[in-house]
């Protein structure tokens, strides 16, 4: 059967088993929000599909052109065996035969990218799509740029950037962020966090996280004042939750250019990479507390972070200090770790790491100051309050 060329569209239910996803990112995006919506309201909008063509012949299968996340969310519900009031074994689909697509996946990627750009695909998804197409070398950077109605240098500039990490994903896609203040472990959805901590997290704690994310309160600290701590399990207490406000709340890559440049300049291959990654993480978390992130907000934060990495005067001042009392050392340790939840094991391991770090024996006496003094001081201060 020849490839259909008429612009024929019709609405019908199609078995979920006959649908195929050819996501240009080759990975599923976050589907938690869509799955929750499907469970609560059912399928509200049809998925656009086109007949699958193989070697010039039609098949009984369909390729998803628009609505892949809805498809993945529905498939996740079906595969989980979860009881629902809706039937997701069949999905409402608009069959559009105008795409004239065969199994050339790169051609499909370009068509899907153009379509998703029209449907306001998130900045992060667009970045991954363009990078994937440029890396495939199937199309020139100029072709990709022109196909999206951009300046011919646009795709090359996008692909040259490195923003493919979880913090950027949260920032540019508007996803929720769950962050460990002790070790910087990051999750971009409640489901991924729960799956990772399934042996620790209780049903009550799952419900509390979900309740916070659905509440109108922006900052976790404010929510906890009225509702109590988010987590009761000791191992989970270092985790903080930052709300995403959707893709519309985040700027374009060019709107956040100074942040992107900071990451590429300092967080990839730089002598101060560790310090830069901490500063980058703080900036992302600070920006996620603002529903609207203006270029001025971003530039101001980045300017301060760059100053900390390039101005060594404070470091030189500290290095000139040759004498330090146990009280001073305890205060420094306390101020450094005051926002971190400690366990006895962490204290012991931290002390060991200090001893390993200082190689010169004449400095090791400094480490005889017990870090737990600072911890005890913190607990005493909290008791007094």
The model's pTM is: 0.52
The SS3 assignment for 280 reads helix
Tell me how far apart the alpha carbons of residues 274 and 268 are, in angstroms, rounded to a whole number. Answer: 10
Is there a contact between 263 and 301 (Cβ–Cβ < 8 Å)?
A: no
pLDDT digits (tens, 9 = 90+) for 231-276: 999 999 999 888 877 655 666 777 788 898 899 888 888 888 888 8
- Which helix (H) or strand (E) is 53 found in, with range? strand 47-54
Q: What is the pLDDT of residue 249?
A: 64
- Which helix (H) or strand (E) is 65 found in, with range? strand 57-66
Helix locations, the chain, DSSP H? 32-41, 68-80, 105-118, 123-136, 141-147, 154-160, 166-173, 190-196, 203-214, 220-227, 257-266, 273-288, 295-310, 313-320, 326-337, 344-357, 371-384
Q: What is the pLDDT of residue 4?
A: 41
Residue numbers in the chain where pLDDT is lower than 70: 1-8, 22-30, 55-56, 99-123, 246-251, 291-292, 311-343, 351, 353-385
Q: What is the pLDDT of residue 320?
A: 46
- Which positions ≥6 away from 135 have C-beta within 8 Å? 159
Q: What is the pLDDT of residue 295?
A: 82
C-alpha distance from residue 47 to each of 10, 21, 96 (Å): 12, 11, 10
**Whether domain 1-103 has CATH 3.40.190.10:** no
Q: Cite the residue boundaries of each domain of the chain with CATH code 3.90.1530.10.
A: 1-103
Tell me how far apart the alpha carbons of residues 243 and 128 are, in angstroms, rounded to a whole number. Answer: 23
């Amino acid at each position: 059967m020849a490839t259909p060329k008429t612009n024929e569209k019709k609405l019908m239910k199609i078995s979920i088993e006959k649908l195929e996803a050819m996501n240009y990112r080759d990975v599923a995006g976050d589907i938690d929000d869509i799955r929750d919506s499907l469970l609560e309201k059912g399928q509200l909008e049809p998925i656009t599909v086109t007949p699958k063509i193989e070697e010039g012949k039609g098949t009984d299968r369909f390729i998803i052109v628009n609505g892949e996340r809805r498809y993945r969310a529905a498939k996740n519900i079906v595969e989980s065996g979860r009881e629902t009031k809706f039937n997701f074994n069949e999905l409402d689909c608009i069959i559009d035969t105008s795409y004239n697509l065969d199994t050339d996946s790169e051609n499909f990627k370009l068509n899907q990218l153009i379509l998703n750009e029209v449907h306001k695909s998130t900045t992060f998804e667009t970045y991954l799509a363009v990078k994937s197409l440029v890396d495939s070398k199937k199309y020139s950077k100029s072709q990709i740029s022109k196909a999206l109605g951009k300046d011919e240098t646009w795709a090359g500039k996008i692909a040259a950037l490195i923003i493919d990490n979880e913090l950027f994903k949260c920032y540019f896609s508007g996803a929720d962020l769950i962050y460990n203040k002790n070790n910087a472990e990051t999750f971009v959805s409640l489901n991924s966090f729960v799956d990772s901590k399934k042996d620790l997290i209780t049903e009550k704690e799952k419900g509390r996280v979900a309740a916070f994310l659905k509440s109108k309160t922006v900052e976790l600290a404010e929510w906890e004042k009225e509702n109590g701590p988010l987590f009761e399990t000791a191992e989970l207490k270092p985790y903080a939750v930052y709300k995403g406000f959707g893709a519309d709340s985040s700027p374009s890559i060019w709107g956040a250019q100074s942040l992107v440049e900071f990451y590429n300049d300092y967080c990839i291959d730089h002598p101060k990479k560790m310090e830069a990654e901490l500063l980058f993480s703080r900036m992302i978390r600070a920006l996620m507390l603002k529903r609207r992130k203006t270029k001025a907000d971003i530039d101001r934060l980045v300017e301060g972070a760059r100053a900390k990495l390039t101005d060594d005067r404070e470091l030189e001042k500290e290095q000139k200090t040759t004498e330090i009392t146990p009280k001073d050392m305890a205060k420094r340790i306390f101020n450094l770790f005051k926002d971190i939840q400690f366990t006895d094991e962490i204290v012991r391991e931290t002390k060991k790491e200090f001893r390993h770090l200082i190689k010169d024996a004449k400095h090791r006496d400094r480490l005889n100051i017990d870090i737990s003094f600072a911890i005890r001081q913190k607990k005493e201060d909290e008791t007094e309050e």
